[in-house]
Structures are given as structure tokens and as C-alpha cells.
Amino acid sequence: MISPLPYCPHYLRNCDKKAPCCGKFYPCRLCHNANYQGPNSDGCKTEIMDRYNVTIIQCRKCLFEQSPTNQCKQCGIQFAKYFCSICKLYDDDPNKQIYHCDECNMCRRGIKEENFHCKLCGICLSKQSQNTHRCLNQAADNDCPVCLENLKISTNFIMQLPNCAHFIHQTCFNQLIKTNHRNCPLCSFPISKMTKEEIEHYDKLAEETKNLLPVSISNLKVSIQCFDCREISNEISFNYYLKCSHCGSYNTKQ
């Protein structure tokens, strides 16, 4: 006998969980949550499965139902390399490091000895940032500003943006950089200020495009705000590229 449920796209494991809310078996809590279709649907009326109150699991090999342990009481197979009896989390991925944080009261990605729990931020962070990170009260209760997933329950690595106190998924941060977004999506504080070489490059672009402007707006004067130095420049000649009169940056908005 083999479990009729599909293999979990979130974790490797040899068992399924019985959701305490609807009594149905799912490969994991995230599979249950992904199946949620709203309170008025015919499915489960609970959006987020309670991981802590799972009392029944089912072996994927022999379908034997039992209380959460890491070995099937009937066929003897091990369910996963990592097992947390508190979160009822199973993961058999040999390349993934996971540990349980008592203060988060949930499992975290990474190596426990390389991380610490910041009580003010309410989240686990790398020890490399222990003395340099900027605390943001209960940052874990916020959503990632890019993908909007809650940071506390996320299974992805998180990081703090380099020049402000906001947190973001590492993968979402990389996405911002690849798409040339220079500022924090929440407070617009610069992720990195424009370099001298970048400013010189945009100086050339501004000069090249100056004559392409329609006559109706070529003499326009505008006010702009610079994200790099936070200053406001007035009476700036309109261009496709707006240069800060204080620091020279083009990381600006009208």
C-alpha cells in the first residue's frame, strides 16, 4: 500500500498529517493552507492549520495511523531525518538544516549555533548581525514587502535591508536587485546609494535624451525628492532623468 496523496512540494517525508480542523490528511500544513478556498467554500473553513495540535499521522508506505513519532510502529520505516515533536515537522532533505527555536516556538531554517533570537524583533537572525542589526519591534509579525508572506511563519530565509530596519526574504531581496529597484518598498530608504560611476553614466544619458523631450515640456521646472540624501530640489529642469541638486544622485522622484 502507498499513500494516495501526492508527495509534498514543501518537505521530504514518509508520512502525512491529519489536520485537526477538518480531519483530512495532508502531506504538511502548507499543503493544507494552499488548499484553502475561503470560508464559503465546501472545503476546510480554517485557513491556517494548527501545527501544534496534530495528534494523528499516517505512514505513506503502509498507511498505518499513529500518534506523531519519527518511526512507523507497524512497518518500522523512519519518516524523516529531522523530526520536531512540538511543531510536528518532518523533513528528510539531507541538504537542509533545521532547528527548533523555543522563543519563536517554531522550527527555523539554518544551524542553531549560527543564529540567535532577537526578543525585540521577535525572530531568529544570523549571529553575524547580532551587534549590527537594527531592531524593529516584533518585525516577525510583518509581511515580506515583496511577496507579502508573513515573515514569522515563512519557511524561507529572511534578512534585514542594509540601510533601514525592515526585513525581507533573501530571495525577494535578490529579486529587487535584479530588477534594479534601489529602495526599500516600505520606507523608500535606499538599499544602496548611487556610486560616482553610476551618476556619471546617468549624466550622459540625461544629456543624450535632453533634446528628445517634446517642446511643450522641455522648459518645465519641477521639484524632486532624492532617496539617497533625502533632500528636496526645486526648480529642476524636467528630463527623463532627474538629478538631485544636492548629492547628484538620480535616485529621485518628482
For residue 63, pLDDT beyond 90: yes
What is the rounded CA–CA span in Å between residue 115 and residue 108? 10
For residue 5, pLDDT beyond 80: no
What is the rounded CA–CA span in Å between residue 62 and residue 118? 43
CATH of domain 196-253: 2.20.28.10
What is the rounded CA–CA span in Å between residue 219 and residue 254? 15
- Which residues, listed in sequence order, are joined to residue 106 by a DSSP beta bridge? 101
Buried b / exposed e across 92-112, counting CB within 10 Å, b at 16+?
eeeeeebbbbeeeebbbbbee
- Report helix, strand or coil for 107: strand
For residue 2, pLDDT beyond 70: no
What residue ranges do the domains of the chain occupy? 1-94, 98-178, 196-253
Q: What mean pLDDT is reported for the chain?
A: 89
H or E segment and range at residue 234: strand 232-237
Among 15-29, 86-100, 133-147, the least confident range: 133-147
Beta strands in 34-165 (DSSP E): 57-59, 65-66, 82-84, 89-91, 98-101, 106-109, 115-118, 123-126, 158-160
Mean pLDDT of 25-30: 91
Hey, what's the cell of 240? 527623463
What is the rounded CA–CA span in Å between residue 194 and residue 253? 14
pLDDT tens by residue, 203-242: 898 888 877 778 777 778 889 898 888 899 898 888 888 8
Q: Could you give the strand order of the β-sheet that contains 15-18, starting from the edge strand earlier in sequence?
A: 25-26, 15-18, 57-59, 65-66
